[in-house]
Structure 1
Amino acid sequence: MAISPPAPRAGAPLSRRLADTQSSPVRELLETAMQPHIISLAGGLPAPDTFDVPGLRAAFDEVLSGPDAIRSLQYSLTEGDPALREQLAAFMAKSGIEATGHDILVTTGSQQALGLIASALCDPGDTILVEDPTYLAALQTFQLADVNAVPIPGDDDGPDPEALIEVARRTGAKAAYLIPTFQNPTGRTMPLARRAALAEAAATAGLWLIEDDPYSALRLDGEPVDLLAAQPAARDRTIVIQTLSKVLSPGLRIGYLRAPKALRGPLAVAKQAADLHTSTVAQLAAERWLASHDLSEHIAGLAAHYRPRRDALLAALGEHLPEGSSMTSPEGGLFVWVTLPDGHDAEEILPRALANGVAFVPGKYFYAGEPVKETLRVSFATATPAELAEGAARLGAAIIG
């Protein structure tokens, strides 16, 4: 007589990793912020009017009507399309590091890259060091991987190198996750001297470095700074993550990483286990677009688009925030970090702001350590200059209460 397996119990508990991982508050807030009466300063979504719809349509048409049509609809290499990888490596090399297509792994967005790295480098319970504050979706990724994110003390230039060594030795950390250029959420850029010192400190502590670099191409002012990975002490220990999401289209879901030779195989295995490979047709369309367009020229157009928006938001915040407030003045990226005077709580202000028709992200969600309740993040990415000015006025009124 056959014995049927027991039916799953309704309400059976989730895995500990998923049960302990919180949904992104930004994703939840964006649904509210999409209401037509709300000016959203919350998300970091690229401005839709920067998307090259005709160019991408032509790229997909070329792929699907040409000799690669069948190949574009088939399974592909885990590491990514070879021609695309060569183009991405050439673009990354402009940031001061040597890279060829063999060094590149194409990922389904840069968010997947973070998950692959956590899987390849860390066991459950291991530690990754982070800036404080830092990218909240990275914190979410590390939490899902059951990896502890431990903050590194620092200053306005970034993490303190000596503190990195001390915390690494105390915690047994395996890696440090850093966003050196136009950091999310603060917009801060590490000076070259701090990058060199952190590279030396990581070598002393025996740490892998994870350099998340989604924003460096979006420079609005000032002179470019070479990647942290370009520092001599960092070259053989740094994984660099970049993406086409902020400079071409997030809907393509094309991210990519450059890894030291010792990690390329393990990361490819992690990618195989995750999704076999990134969408073939999206990769080939991205490759055709890159082959027929000057990405640097396209990015220059993005800077011309975002610069007046950043300037409008900074001017309006300076006018409408309460006395004693401070804010960063980023040379690029998409974000401004605001610190209100002592006694304010950004999370308590948010409901008033939404009722007043403006959305932002409270700073508490970006901290791995003790959050600073007076902080908040605003973005100039999607609204017009006039909307940004009005949004800052609404925010100031909500703060005053």
Structure 2
Amino acid sequence: MVIKFSDKMNLLTGSEIRELLKLTEKPDIISFAGGLPAPELFPIEELKRIAVCVMEESGKQALQYSTTEGFLPLRKHIAERMLAKNKIKTDPSHILMTSGSQMGLDFSARVFLNKDDIVLLESPSYLGAINAFKASEAKFIEVPTDKEGMIISELEKNLGKEERVKMIYVIPDFQNPSGRTWSLERRQKFMEIVNKYEIPVIEDNPYGELRFEKEILPALKALDTKGLVVYLGTFSKVLVPGYRLGWVCASAEKLEKYNFIEQASSLQASTISQMEVSKYMDLYNLDDHIAKIKEVYRKRRDIMLKTMDEEFPEGVEYTRPEGGLFTWVILPEYINARNMALECIEKKVAYVPGGSFFPNGGHENTFRMNYSCMPEEKIIEGIQRIAEVIKKNMK
């Protein structure tokens, strides 16, 4: 018998980043490919103590099924942080725990999108979100961006002429892949347009607390007066990714739909992970831990940009992020960064080709680099190797 898969399976392919990471697992590869936190910064000893504490105090509860909404003390912690850090006024009843923010992206597609509905997103945009939305057979319109974020005139132009726009997906803080951050003025103007057209917005914010300079800007959700913004958060970049804990914050009407989807999909996020993260926040200062992360990442960003300034030839552009994990490189149009990646792999260095971050194709002269996961001496060596390959490919 021939096994027949659903038509939707034809829309999905393996993540290019995940496939590339398989090539970079060898210890001699200098990898700027993944969006990986630095493992040497994981608070392992603290989390060992927390794990024992949770099991001794609440072992039966920690190992049992729990509510779909999530562990209430953790949701209280999250609500308090969202107010303190993002100026979002919310409460635990508007927060739903998920198995990582990627689950929130998948749920967003299932809540809002039918076949041939349109998603507006930044150009470029996060590959994981693109793949999640593709599963709902959505179509994409890429809205041009500049150094301040999504260009508002282009956004309104598309909203004015396209009837099937169902949602807008954005990463205003240290965007993946570009590393850019929206200005406060751009955020305000964006929300004016969103309120005018009353289109749901998915605000993805995995990196917002990893700001190296200046103050954290208010989230779009903090400027939301009509309950249109669905905010996705995660502990993956500020604590550890292995717990697979994220959350959705939304109006009651929208969050109810997400709750229904989670009940059908996974029942709940991990009980024990939620209890351990909550206990960590009871006993330790998460801000102190994040401060250590930021100091290391800031130094690694600085050394990467300094080495690129010194080694990359004229005609190569790149972003100078104020935080987060990534910088974005734009080569002359005649250079194919996907082909060049193979040459770099031969030199034992890796990045992510940029074409996959554009759902409608093109832009093969771009690539993304991560600076969080490699020590400084490896960053220098890796950039020098990439520079050699770029110079070889320059006319």
Give yes or no for TM over 0.5. Answer: yes
1:165 CA displacement = 2.4
1:84–1:185 distance in 2 versus 1, CA, 3 Å: same
**Code of the aligned partner of 1:70:** K
1:220 CA displacement = 1.1
Contact conserved, 2:124 with 2:357, CA < 8 A, in 1?
A: yes
Size of the alignment, in residue pairs? 390
Aligned to 1:90: 80
2:77, 2:49 → 1: CA distance?
19
Deviations 1:122-180 (A, max 9, x none): 22322221111000000000011222222113322222223222213433211100000
Quick one: which of 183, 198, 201 aligns to 2:190? 198
Quick one: which of 65, 69, 80 aligns to 2:59? 69
Contact conserved, 2:11 with 2:137, CA < 8 A, in 1?
A: no
1:232 CA displacement = 4.6
Matched, 1:352 2:343: yes
Q: Which consecutive residues of structure 1, in runs of 5 or more, have no partner in the other structure?
A: 1-8
Matched, 1:377 2:387: no
With 176-185 and 54-63 compared, the bigger mean Cα shift is at 54-63
1:1-400 matches, cutoff 5 A:
9-10=1-2, 12-66=3-57, 68-94=58-84, 95-171=86-162, 172-233=164-225, 236-400=227-391
With 53-62 and 165-174 compared, the bigger mean Cα shift is at 165-174
1:150, 1:18 → 2: CA distance?
22
1:21, 1:322 → 2: CA distance?
37
2:224, 2:209 → 1: CA distance?
22
1:278, 1:232 → 2: CA distance?
27
1:304, 1:180 → 2: CA distance?
22
1:391, 1:188 → 2: CA distance?
23
**Code of the aligned partner of 2:219:** L
SS state of the match for residue 281, structure 1?
helix
**Code of the aligned partner of 1:78:** T
Q: Which consecutive residues of structure 2, in runs of 5 or more, have no partner in the other structure?
A: none
TM-score norm. by structure 2 comes to: 0.96
1:220, 1:251 → 2: CA distance?
24
Contact conserved, 1:337 with 1:378, CA < 8 A, in 2?
A: yes
2:124, 2:6 → 1: CA distance?
27
Contact conserved, 1:162 with 1:201, CA < 8 A, in 2?
A: no
SS state of the match for residue 177, structure 1?
strand
**Code of the aligned partner of 2:132:** T
SS state of the match for residue 89, structure 2?
coil
Contact conserved, 1:132 with 1:369, CA < 8 A, in 2?
A: no
Contact conserved, 1:74 with 1:280, CA < 8 A, in 2?
A: yes
1:370 CA displacement = 4.0
Contact conserved, 1:323 with 1:341, CA < 8 A, in 2?
A: no
TM-score norm. by structure 1 comes to: 0.95
SS state of the match for residue 194, structure 2?
helix
